[in-house]
Protein backbone atom coordinates (compact mmCIF):
# COMPACT_ATOMS: atom_id res chain seq x y z
CA UNK A 1 0.00 0.00 0.00
CA UNK A 2 1.36 3.42 -0.88
CA UNK A 3 1.98 6.17 1.67
CA UNK A 4 -0.85 8.33 0.21
CA UNK A 5 -3.40 5.55 0.61
CA UNK A 6 -2.31 4.96 4.21
CA UNK A 7 -2.69 8.65 5.07
CA UNK A 8 -6.08 8.88 3.34
CA UNK A 9 -7.32 5.72 5.03
CA UNK A 10 -6.18 6.81 8.52
CA UNK A 11 -7.67 10.30 7.95
CA UNK A 12 -11.03 8.84 7.03
CA UNK A 13 -10.88 6.56 10.08
CA UNK A 14 -10.29 9.56 12.31
CA UNK A 15 -13.21 11.44 10.73
CA UNK A 16 -15.42 8.38 11.15
CA UNK A 17 -14.41 8.03 14.80
CA UNK A 18 -15.17 11.67 15.50
CA UNK A 19 -18.61 11.40 13.91
CA UNK A 20 -19.27 8.12 15.71
CA UNK A 21 -18.28 9.63 19.04
CA UNK A 22 -20.48 12.64 18.48
CA UNK A 23 -23.53 10.55 17.77
CA UNK A 24 -22.98 7.80 20.32
CA UNK A 25 -21.67 9.72 23.34
CA UNK A 26 -24.31 12.44 23.27
CA UNK A 27 -26.83 10.78 21.04
CA UNK A 28 -27.92 11.60 17.54
CA UNK A 29 -31.21 13.10 18.69
CA UNK A 30 -29.45 15.44 21.12
CA UNK A 31 -27.11 16.68 18.38
CA UNK A 32 -29.95 17.28 15.94
CA UNK A 33 -31.90 18.99 18.68
CA UNK A 34 -28.95 21.31 19.38
CA UNK A 35 -28.72 22.10 15.66
CA UNK A 36 -32.40 23.08 15.67
CA UNK A 37 -31.79 25.07 18.86
CA UNK A 38 -29.06 27.04 17.11
CA UNK A 39 -31.52 28.04 14.38
CA UNK A 40 -33.94 29.36 17.01
CA UNK A 41 -31.10 31.15 18.78
CA UNK A 42 -30.11 32.86 15.52
CA UNK A 43 -33.75 33.84 14.88
CA UNK A 44 -33.85 35.24 18.40
CA UNK A 45 -30.76 37.34 17.67
CA UNK A 46 -32.31 38.69 14.47
CA UNK A 47 -35.54 39.59 16.26
CA UNK A 48 -33.65 41.17 19.16
CA UNK A 49 -31.70 43.35 16.71
CA UNK A 50 -34.99 44.38 15.09
CA UNK A 51 -36.40 45.28 18.55
CA UNK A 52 -39.01 42.51 18.40
CA UNK A 53 -38.40 41.57 22.02
CA UNK A 54 -41.44 39.29 22.36
CA UNK A 55 -40.41 37.34 19.27
CA UNK A 56 -36.84 37.10 20.57
CA UNK A 57 -38.07 35.81 23.93
CA UNK A 58 -40.10 33.11 22.18
CA UNK A 59 -37.16 32.01 20.00
CA UNK A 60 -34.68 31.96 22.91
CA UNK A 61 -37.09 29.88 25.03
CA UNK A 62 -37.51 27.38 22.19
CA UNK A 63 -33.72 27.21 21.79
CA UNK A 64 -33.27 26.60 25.53
CA UNK A 65 -35.92 23.86 25.55
CA UNK A 66 -34.22 22.04 22.66
CA UNK A 67 -30.63 22.14 23.88
CA UNK A 68 -29.57 22.67 27.46
CA UNK A 69 -25.83 22.69 26.74
CA UNK A 70 -25.76 26.12 25.09
CA UNK A 71 -25.44 29.14 27.42
CA UNK A 72 -25.95 31.98 24.95
CA UNK A 73 -29.76 31.71 24.54
CA UNK A 74 -30.14 31.71 28.34
CA UNK A 75 -27.91 34.78 28.61
CA UNK A 76 -29.64 36.55 25.72
CA UNK A 77 -33.04 35.79 27.19
CA UNK A 78 -31.82 37.64 30.29
CA UNK A 79 -30.72 40.65 28.24
CA UNK A 80 -34.08 40.83 26.46
CA UNK A 81 -36.00 40.51 29.72
CA UNK A 82 -33.84 43.26 31.23
CA UNK A 83 -34.48 45.48 28.19
CA UNK A 84 -38.21 44.97 28.78
CA UNK A 85 -37.81 46.01 32.43
CA UNK A 86 -38.23 42.52 33.89
CA UNK A 87 -35.25 42.65 36.25
CA UNK A 88 -36.33 39.60 38.24
CA UNK A 89 -36.62 37.51 35.07
CA UNK A 90 -33.26 38.77 33.82
CA UNK A 91 -31.57 38.08 37.16
CA UNK A 92 -32.99 34.55 37.15
CA UNK A 93 -31.57 33.89 33.66
CA UNK A 94 -28.13 35.28 34.52
CA UNK A 95 -28.05 33.14 37.65
CA UNK A 96 -28.87 30.05 35.59
CA UNK A 97 -25.92 30.81 33.30
CA UNK A 98 -23.62 31.34 36.29
CA UNK A 99 -24.77 28.18 38.06
CA UNK A 100 -24.23 25.98 35.00
CA UNK A 101 -21.30 27.84 33.37
CA UNK A 102 -19.55 29.74 36.19
CA UNK A 103 -16.70 30.98 33.99
CA UNK A 104 -18.93 33.04 31.71
CA UNK A 105 -17.80 36.48 32.89
CA UNK A 106 -20.40 38.24 30.70
CA UNK A 107 -23.16 36.75 32.85
CA UNK A 108 -21.49 38.06 36.02
CA UNK A 109 -21.27 41.54 34.49
CA UNK A 110 -24.89 41.45 33.31
CA UNK A 111 -26.05 40.15 36.68
CA UNK A 112 -24.12 42.95 38.39
CA UNK A 113 -25.81 45.52 36.15
CA UNK A 114 -29.27 44.07 36.80
CA UNK A 115 -28.67 43.93 40.56
CA UNK A 116 -27.41 47.51 40.53
CA UNK A 117 -30.53 48.66 38.66
CA UNK A 118 -32.60 46.86 41.27
CA UNK A 119 -30.73 48.70 44.05
CA UNK A 120 -28.80 45.68 45.33
CA UNK A 121 -25.40 47.38 45.36
CA UNK A 122 -23.75 44.72 47.53
CA UNK A 123 -24.76 41.99 45.09
CA UNK A 124 -23.62 44.09 42.14
CA UNK A 125 -20.25 44.73 43.78
CA UNK A 126 -19.71 40.99 44.28
CA UNK A 127 -20.46 40.30 40.61
CA UNK A 128 -18.26 43.12 39.30
CA UNK A 129 -15.38 41.92 41.46
CA UNK A 130 -15.87 38.42 40.08
CA UNK A 131 -15.47 39.79 36.56
CA UNK A 132 -12.35 41.74 37.59
CA UNK A 133 -10.84 38.62 39.17
CA UNK A 134 -11.32 36.77 35.90
CA UNK A 135 -10.46 39.61 33.51
CA UNK A 136 -8.03 42.01 35.14
CA UNK A 137 -7.95 44.37 32.19
CA UNK A 138 -11.61 45.02 31.60
CA UNK A 139 -12.33 48.73 32.06
CA UNK A 140 -16.11 48.36 31.91
CA UNK A 141 -16.04 46.14 35.01
CA UNK A 142 -13.92 48.68 36.89
CA UNK A 143 -16.23 51.50 35.80
CA UNK A 144 -19.32 49.51 36.84
CA UNK A 145 -17.73 48.62 40.19
CA UNK A 146 -16.89 52.29 40.73
CA UNK A 147 -20.49 53.23 39.94
CA UNK A 148 -21.86 50.70 42.45
CA UNK A 149 -19.37 51.76 45.11
CA UNK A 150 -20.29 55.42 44.61
CA UNK A 151 -24.00 54.60 44.83
CA UNK A 152 -23.27 52.81 48.09
CA UNK A 153 -21.41 55.90 49.38
CA UNK A 154 -17.82 54.66 49.03
CA UNK A 155 -16.35 57.60 47.08
CA UNK A 156 -12.73 56.61 47.69
CA UNK A 157 -13.31 53.10 46.37
CA UNK A 158 -15.23 54.49 43.40
CA UNK A 159 -12.41 56.90 42.53
CA UNK A 160 -9.88 54.05 42.59
CA UNK A 161 -12.04 52.01 40.21
CA UNK A 162 -12.69 54.93 37.85
CA UNK A 163 -8.96 55.62 37.73
CA UNK A 164 -8.28 51.98 36.93
CA UNK A 165 -10.88 52.04 34.15
CA UNK A 166 -9.31 55.20 32.68
CA UNK A 167 -5.79 53.79 32.94
CA UNK A 168 -6.93 50.74 30.96
CA UNK A 169 -8.90 52.80 28.45
CA UNK A 170 -7.89 56.48 28.39
CA UNK A 171 -10.65 57.33 25.89
CA UNK A 172 -13.45 56.26 28.28
CA UNK A 173 -15.71 59.34 28.55
CA UNK A 174 -18.19 57.75 30.99
CA UNK A 175 -15.39 56.92 33.42
CA UNK A 176 -13.86 60.38 33.01
CA UNK A 177 -17.19 62.01 33.72
CA UNK A 178 -17.83 59.70 36.69
CA UNK A 179 -14.45 60.40 38.30
CA UNK A 180 -15.01 64.15 37.89
CA UNK A 181 -18.36 63.82 39.69
CA UNK A 182 -16.84 61.66 42.43
CA UNK A 183 -13.95 64.08 42.98
CA UNK A 184 -16.38 67.01 43.05
CA UNK A 185 -18.57 65.18 45.58
CA UNK A 186 -15.48 64.49 47.67
CA UNK A 187 -14.64 68.19 47.48
CA UNK A 188 -11.24 67.86 45.82
CA UNK A 189 -11.72 68.80 42.19
pLDDT tens for each residue of 10-31: 444 554 444 444 444 444 455 7
Helix (H) or strand (E) holding 57: helix 53-66
pTM above 0.75, yes or no: yes
Predicted local distance difference test score (pLDDT) of residue 31: 72
Q: How far apart are CA 149 and CA 144, in angstroms?
A: 9
Q: How far apart are CA 189 and CA 6, in angstroms?
A: 75
Q: How far apart are CA 144 and CA 109, in angstroms?
A: 9
Where along the chain do its domains lie?
1-70
pLDDT tens for each residue of 94-152: 999 999 999 999 999 999 999 999 999 999 999 999 999 999 899 999 999 999 999 99
Predicted local distance difference test score (pLDDT) of residue 6: 40
pLDDT tens for each residue of 159-187: 999 999 999 999 999 999 999 999 999 88
Q: How far apart are CA 141 and CA 127, in angstroms?
A: 9
Predicted local distance difference test score (pLDDT) of residue 21: 43
Amino acid sequence: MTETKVKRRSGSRIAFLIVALLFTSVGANANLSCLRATKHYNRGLDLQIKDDLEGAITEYRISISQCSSFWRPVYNLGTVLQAKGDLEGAIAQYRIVISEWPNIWQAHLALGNALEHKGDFEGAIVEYRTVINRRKKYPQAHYSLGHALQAKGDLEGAIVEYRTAISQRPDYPEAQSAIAEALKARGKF
